[in-house]
Amino acid sequence: MISVYLVDDHELVRTGIRRILEDERGIKVVGEAGDGETAVQWCRKNEADVILMDMNMPGIGGLEATRKILRFQAHAKIIVLTIHTEDPFPTKVMQAGASGYLTKGATSPEVLQAIR
């Protein structure tokens, strides 16, 4: 079972992704957060196999949250979700230590493949 933690400041986006993932065998959503600070706090006490992280959020964004989480969970697999497709965003995401990068225009099969 692959555990997934969702981080996005838009509840509608989190709900949509949760629905997609809950319908898939072998994947379980273990929690969600609406901002980077909450995600970092959750990850200090809990673990997930994959963290789907929005890049642009109020407070600390996805890049900074990714860096902070990886300081104490170096093995964490973080996939950043964003609307940005042009450099320097993909480069910055990977330099921050993310395992992958998806645009919010990705299809459900692409999201599931990235998680697996």
Q: What is the 8-class DSSP label of residue 59?
A: S
pTM for the model: 0.92
Helix, strand, coil tally for the chain in percent (to 5): 40, 25, 35
Q: How far apart are CA 61 and CA 50, in angstroms?
A: 18
Q: What is the pLDDT of residues 53-65, one digit of tens each?
A: 998 888 898 999 9
d(Cα 86, Cα 9) in Å, to the nearest integer?
22
Domains of the chain: 2-84+100-115 (3.40.50.2300)
Range name among 28-32, 48-52, 65-69, 72-76 with the lowest pLDDT average: 72-76
Q: pLDDT of 10-35, one tens digit each?
A: 999 999 999 999 999 999 999 999 99
